Structure 1
Amino acid sequence: MRERRWIVDTTLRDGEQRPGIALRPEDKIQLALLLDDINVHEIEVGIPNVDTEGIDYVKEIMKKKKNSYISVWSRVNEEDVIYSVSCCPDIIHIGTPVSYVQIYSKLKKNKVWMQKTLARCVDIAMNHGVKVTVGFEDSSRADVGFMIHTARLLKDMGVETIRIADTVGVLTPCRTRTMIEEILEHVDINIEMHAHNDLGMAIANSIEGAKAGAKLIDCALFGIGERSGNCNMWEFLHAAERTFDFGIQKKKVREVEKAFEKIAGGNWNEWENSSSF
């Protein structure tokens, strides 16, 4: 009997970071509803921004969707979280650096500051009755002990899911499995896997993540995304369907891909083939 796993679509958020992709709010509404129709578990519809897209498109998706959870992405920043709350999504995903190189060198902060700031942001969202998931950015270069400690703090606050994000795309399948198994050994929490394809291993890492216990797998149509892209949804389903039940038919994904090509323009199958490792 196949184990159950769930797909989180990130085409409208991380996928839009692919050069050449610029989706209008009406495009995001159309694509989100197509993904909702094929029973994608969660759809990450973007990063709400008062200066660009605003929040009306998120509210429109929330009114019309029938099957999927709708999430928006927020930095670990109190003002950003408050703005995300105003979208009234099902889920706010808060992304926070967990590697020391990002905390100390990029943010010029320390891990105590990060945990306290994250706790305040989670508190704000939860006090407004919004479910929270937390993304561990740059997990592949982070100290596992620190991630375990942070996951325990989040679990105590009521957070049910953390995202393991291979932000710089350097994970291998072996490292993916070891890291997830170690976290789950110490913390009873749901894990979401977010793989990048810089080394051509996004699908392999996602499969190993699912085998190690990750319940949710992030994918994008055609595998589009920042730099070399994300885990390709159709190819991941094709590779993993004998092991796991995702509740999605592959042929339906192909139909959404065709619609995406019409909306975004261009032949994304050609881009996918030319950019693979």
Structure 2
Amino acid sequence: MATTQRSEDYQKVSEEPHKNVIKNPYGPNPGDYLSNVTSFKIIESTLREGEQFANAFFTTEKKIEIAKALDDFGADYIEVTSPCASEQCRKDCEAICNLGLRAKILTHIKCDMEAAKIAVDTGVDGVDIVIGASKYLRQHPHGKDMSYIAKAAIDVIEFIKSKGIEIRFSSEDSFRSNIVDLLNIYKSVNKIGVTRVGIADTVGCANPRQVYELVKTLKSVVSCDIECHFHNDTGCAIANSYTALEAGAKLVDVSVLGIGERNGITPLGGFMARMIAADREYVLSKYKLHKLRNLESLVADAVEVNIPFNNPITGFCAFTHKAGVHAKAMLANPHTYEILNPSDFGLSRYIQFASRLTGWNAIKARVEQLNLDLTDDQIKNVTGKIKKLGDVRALNIDDVDSIIKNYHADVHTPQVKPANGPSIPDKDEVLLDSVKKPRID
């Protein structure tokens, strides 16, 4: 499905690099020893969590295309669907492992020995094992108590460790689990040497304050890295991911456009927007942000959705400025109404001047683009004409250009008033009158 295209009714503004400042007010506190905001990694889960999106069905060829695009973007890890899910999923997992990508390939399985054996045989670089720890998930999906969970986890972890690959142990539904149970099982798996432990906001119920407290507490009892997985049911996934890094987590699960179960998880693009505001140099050194738009278009087409108009970075309106006051300021200094630099993502900012909200500074810039000669007073006058028509109907670029060119012709062409007869009507008044009173043939 084709994604929405940016309208031509926007004026492209010359790029002006955002200057670095000595202290970034949007970054971590320099004295925060827990923070990994400037040293994080991403686990890209479009090919695992993303397959759980309602519209998703990825062929083997499409999975390989997406995996290569994620690797080219700079994903640290690529997580794929469990090879235990189906025979084709197993074959797909093997195919992706055999691509020779720079990114490490992970797969996600339940805490079960048979599943672990199947996963290891695919050639993955690491296995993510998960088991529900909350009372809801212990009661319904698997019906096991914490003693059983701990024993099963240790057996599976020791087997995977013996194969010399990475292993992550995660509790599912962590934020509705008993904190004592959680810490005890995390301490146990940490002792036997997991690569990392994970916490998962499986139902999207957590808020940033809860995230900070849990991650900080977990950090005090384990020596391994911490990974976090946040669902977006209540709209907190990006904020929770950033807060988790502040509290000491090292890795964040993301997916392209945030696709996943229900409302999905932390979106890759939105997370990049948050992180580049915090540490531009680190993000640009690791990830090819100019590849983001094509990557999102690839996945959007595969799952038959449009990229949302307000999507961070790549949305139709992401770097578009419309109000007169905004336009004036942006033309003078892009810092005034932008925290992100569109050129970092291979994009441009635009001033929308075809509307009744336009200001004379935006029209002046358009006059200059058209190589026309008008004084400031004349530009203010023609701006008034544009606003007048904009009060009657929606405008497009041709409307505005027509009004400007007609006005320019009028002021630069001597007008001869007939000695005895009506004056020649203003072209723009005729245009406006034709809108108000359509001609009936």
Normalised TM-score (structure 2): 0.59
* Residue 180 (structure 1) aligned to one of 215, 220, 226: 215
Find the structure with the greater CA-based Rg.
2
Stretches of structure 1 lacking an aligned partner (at least 5 in a row): none
Match for residue 36 of structure 1 among 66, 71, 92: 71
Q: Aligned match of 1:80 in 115, 124, 128?
A: 115
Residue 136 of structure 1 aligns to a residue whose secondary structure is strand
Q: Would you say 1:253 and 2:288 are equivalent positions?
A: no
Once the two structures are overlaid, the 10-residue window that deviates more, 84-93 or 148-157, is: 148-157
What SS does the aligned partner of 2:188 have? helix
Alignment of 1:96-135 (within 5 A): 96-135=131-170
Instruction: Report the CA distance between 1:33 and its aligned residue.
Output: 1.2
Q: CA RMSD in A?
A: 2.0
Matching residue of 1:93: 128
Structure 2 residue 62 is the aligned partner of structure 1 residue 23: no
Identify the match of residue 196 of structure 1 among 231, 235, 241.
Answer: 231
Q: 1:127 to 1:5 in 2, by over 3 A?
A: same
Specify which of 64, 85, 91 is matched with residue 99 of structure 2: 64
Contact in 1 for aligned 2:47/2:81 (Cα 8 Å): yes
Query: How far apart are 1:201 and its partner, in Å?
Result: 0.6
Cα drift, residue 265 of structure 1: 3.2
Q: In 1, distance between residues paired with 2:255 and 2:293?
A: 12
2:249 to 198, 206, 214: 214
Q: Which amino acid aligns with 2:247?
A: A
Equivalent residue number for residue 152 of structure 1:
187
Give the one of 291, 308, 333 matched to 1:269.
308
Contact 1:33–1:65 (Cα < 8 Å) also in 2: no
Q: Is the 8 A contact 2:107 2:128 kept in 1?
A: yes
Q: CA deviation at 1:51?
A: 3.4
**Equivalent pairs: percent with the same residue?**
26
Is residue 2:276 matched to residue 1:237?
no
Greater strand fraction, Structure 1 or Structure 2: 1
Amino acid at match of 1:10: S
Q: Tell me if the contact between 2:49 and 2:261 (Cα under 8 Å) persists in the aligned partners.
A: yes
Q: Distance in 2 between matches of 1:17 and 1:54?
A: 13
| Rounded Cα–Cα distance in structure 1 between residues aligned with 2:55 and 2:167 | 31
User: Structure 1 pair 248/80, CA: closer, same or farther in 2 (3 Å)?
Assistant: same
Once the two structures are superposed, residues 30-85 of structure 1 have per-residue CA deviations (whole angstroms, 9 ceiling, x without a partner) of 11111011110001011113634242322222222332010011111111111111
CA distance in 2, matches of 1:50, 1:206: 28
Deviation at 1:152, TM superposition (A): 1.5
Give deviations 1:169-225, integer Å, cap 9, x for gaps.
Answer: 100000000100011122222111100001011111111111111110111101111
Secondary structure at 2:81 match in 1: coil
Deviates more, 1:121-130 or 1:211-220: 121-130
Residue 65 to residue 117, structure 1, CA distance change in 2 (3 Å): same
SS at match of 2:277: coil
**Is 1:205 equivalent to 2:245 in the alignment?**
no
Q: CA deviation at 1:15?
A: 1.2
Q: Report the number of matched residues.
A: 273
TM-score normalised according to structure 1 size: 0.92
8 Å Cα contact 1:103-1:114 kept in structure 2? no
Kept in 2: contact 1:32–1:45 (CA 8 A): no
